[in-house]
Amino acid sequence: MIRWSQKSKYHEIFEFYKKLIQLRKDHPVFKMNTQYLISGNLTFMDFSPGENLIGYMLSGSAAEDTWETTLVIFNGEDNEVDIPISEGNWKVVLKGTDINQDGIFRFKGASVGIPSYTAIMLVAD
Protein backbone atom coordinates (compact mmCIF):
# COMPACT_ATOMS: atom_id res chain seq x y z
CA MET A 1 0.00 0.00 0.00
CA ILE A 2 1.28 3.45 -0.84
CA ARG A 3 0.60 6.04 1.82
CA TRP A 4 0.78 9.24 -0.18
CA SER A 5 0.29 11.27 2.99
CA GLN A 6 3.81 10.19 4.06
CA LYS A 7 5.46 11.27 0.81
CA SER A 8 7.04 14.36 2.37
CA LYS A 9 8.32 12.36 5.35
CA TYR A 10 10.03 9.84 3.06
CA HIS A 11 10.86 12.22 0.23
CA GLU A 12 14.38 10.78 -0.29
CA ILE A 13 12.96 7.29 -0.86
CA PHE A 14 10.26 8.71 -3.15
CA GLU A 15 12.93 10.46 -5.27
CA PHE A 16 15.02 7.26 -5.39
CA TYR A 17 12.09 5.20 -6.69
CA LYS A 18 11.20 7.94 -9.16
CA LYS A 19 14.76 7.82 -10.57
CA LEU A 20 14.69 3.99 -10.69
CA ILE A 21 11.47 4.09 -12.70
CA GLN A 22 12.98 6.67 -15.08
CA LEU A 23 16.10 4.52 -15.45
CA ARG A 24 13.93 1.57 -16.51
CA LYS A 25 11.92 3.72 -18.91
CA ASP A 26 15.07 5.12 -20.53
CA HIS A 27 16.92 1.82 -21.02
CA PRO A 28 15.43 -1.10 -22.97
CA VAL A 29 17.99 -3.45 -21.40
CA PHE A 30 15.74 -3.47 -18.29
CA LYS A 31 12.62 -4.26 -20.34
CA MET A 32 13.56 -7.39 -22.25
CA ASN A 33 10.27 -9.25 -22.51
CA THR A 34 11.07 -12.71 -23.82
CA GLN A 35 12.93 -15.56 -22.23
CA TYR A 36 15.08 -15.78 -25.36
CA LEU A 37 16.26 -12.17 -25.00
CA ILE A 38 16.83 -12.48 -21.27
CA SER A 39 18.70 -15.79 -21.35
CA GLY A 40 20.88 -14.61 -24.23
CA ASN A 41 21.78 -11.26 -22.65
CA LEU A 42 21.91 -11.88 -18.90
CA THR A 43 24.97 -13.42 -17.27
CA PHE A 44 25.26 -13.98 -13.52
CA MET A 45 28.62 -13.32 -11.90
CA ASP A 46 30.30 -16.20 -10.10
CA PHE A 47 31.02 -15.61 -6.42
CA SER A 48 32.33 -18.03 -3.80
CA PRO A 49 29.68 -20.00 -1.90
CA GLY A 50 28.71 -18.34 1.36
CA GLU A 51 29.40 -14.82 0.13
CA ASN A 52 26.42 -12.52 0.42
CA LEU A 53 26.91 -11.14 -3.07
CA ILE A 54 24.89 -11.29 -6.23
CA GLY A 55 25.77 -9.68 -9.51
CA TYR A 56 24.85 -9.87 -13.14
CA MET A 57 25.82 -8.41 -16.48
CA LEU A 58 23.30 -7.25 -19.06
CA SER A 59 24.18 -6.89 -22.72
CA GLY A 60 22.26 -3.99 -24.18
CA SER A 61 22.95 -4.66 -27.85
CA ALA A 62 20.06 -7.11 -28.35
CA ALA A 63 17.68 -4.69 -26.65
CA GLU A 64 19.05 -1.82 -28.77
CA ASP A 65 20.13 0.06 -25.67
CA THR A 66 22.76 2.79 -25.74
CA TRP A 67 24.38 1.07 -22.76
CA GLU A 68 26.34 -1.79 -24.30
CA THR A 69 27.30 -3.45 -21.01
CA THR A 70 25.64 -2.94 -17.63
CA LEU A 71 26.80 -4.54 -14.38
CA VAL A 72 24.55 -4.69 -11.32
CA ILE A 73 26.07 -5.92 -8.06
CA PHE A 74 24.52 -6.23 -4.60
CA ASN A 75 26.78 -6.50 -1.55
CA GLY A 76 25.09 -8.07 1.47
CA GLU A 77 28.36 -8.45 3.38
CA ASP A 78 29.20 -6.65 6.63
CA ASN A 79 32.24 -5.08 4.98
CA GLU A 80 33.25 -3.46 1.72
CA VAL A 81 34.24 -5.92 -0.98
CA ASP A 82 36.46 -5.47 -4.00
CA ILE A 83 34.93 -7.17 -7.05
CA PRO A 84 36.97 -7.99 -10.16
CA ILE A 85 35.34 -6.75 -13.37
CA SER A 86 36.39 -6.52 -17.00
CA GLU A 87 39.18 -4.01 -17.36
CA GLY A 88 38.06 -0.84 -19.03
CA ASN A 89 36.39 2.52 -18.62
CA TRP A 90 33.31 2.49 -16.41
CA LYS A 91 30.80 4.96 -15.12
CA VAL A 92 28.86 4.33 -11.94
CA VAL A 93 25.20 5.27 -12.45
CA LEU A 94 23.81 3.88 -9.19
CA LYS A 95 25.49 3.59 -5.83
CA GLY A 96 23.31 3.06 -2.79
CA THR A 97 20.50 5.58 -3.16
CA ASP A 98 22.39 7.88 -5.54
CA ILE A 99 21.36 7.64 -9.20
CA ASN A 100 22.69 9.66 -12.09
CA GLN A 101 22.40 8.25 -15.61
CA ASP A 102 25.23 10.52 -16.76
CA GLY A 103 27.46 8.99 -14.10
CA ILE A 104 28.04 9.61 -10.41
CA PHE A 105 31.72 9.09 -11.15
CA ARG A 106 33.91 7.43 -13.75
CA PHE A 107 36.93 5.21 -13.33
CA LYS A 108 39.29 3.01 -15.27
CA GLY A 109 40.18 -0.35 -13.81
CA ALA A 110 39.60 -4.03 -13.39
CA SER A 111 37.88 -3.99 -10.00
CA VAL A 112 35.34 -1.98 -8.05
CA GLY A 113 34.89 -1.53 -4.31
CA ILE A 114 31.33 -1.90 -3.07
CA PRO A 115 30.44 -0.72 0.44
CA SER A 116 28.60 -3.06 2.78
CA TYR A 117 24.87 -3.51 2.22
CA THR A 118 24.96 -1.49 -0.98
CA ALA A 119 23.94 -1.94 -4.60
CA ILE A 120 25.98 -0.53 -7.45
CA MET A 121 25.33 -0.27 -11.17
CA LEU A 122 28.15 0.29 -13.64
CA VAL A 123 28.02 0.97 -17.34
CA ALA A 124 30.87 0.43 -19.78
CA ASP A 125 31.95 3.90 -20.83
Structural domain contains residue 1 = no
By residue range, what is the domain housing residue 73? 8-124
- pLDDT confidence tier of residue 4, bands split at 50, 70 and 90: confident
Structural domain contains residue 77 = yes
Over the stretch 90-119, which tens digit does the pLDDT of each residue have? 999 999 999 999 999 999 989 999 999 999
Provide the number of structural domains found in the chain.
1
Can you tell me the distance from the alpha carbon of 125 to that of 119, in angstroms, rounded to the nearest whole number?
Answer: 19
- pLDDT confidence tier of residue 120, bands split at 50, 70 and 90: very high
Q: Residue 59: what pLDDT?
A: 93
Structural domain contains residue 46 = yes
Q: Residue 104: what pLDDT?
A: 97
Q: Which of 84, 39, 95 is nearest to 62 (CA)?
A: 39
b/e per residue 10-20 (b: at least 16 CB within 10 A): eeeeeebeebe
Structural domain contains residue 2 = no
Q: Look up the CATH number of the domain holding residue 100.
A: 2.60.40.1180
Structural domain contains residue 24 = yes
Average pLDDT taken over every residue of the chain? 93
b/e per residue 21-53 (b: at least 16 CB within 10 A): eebeeebbbbebeeeebeeebeeeeeeeeeeeb
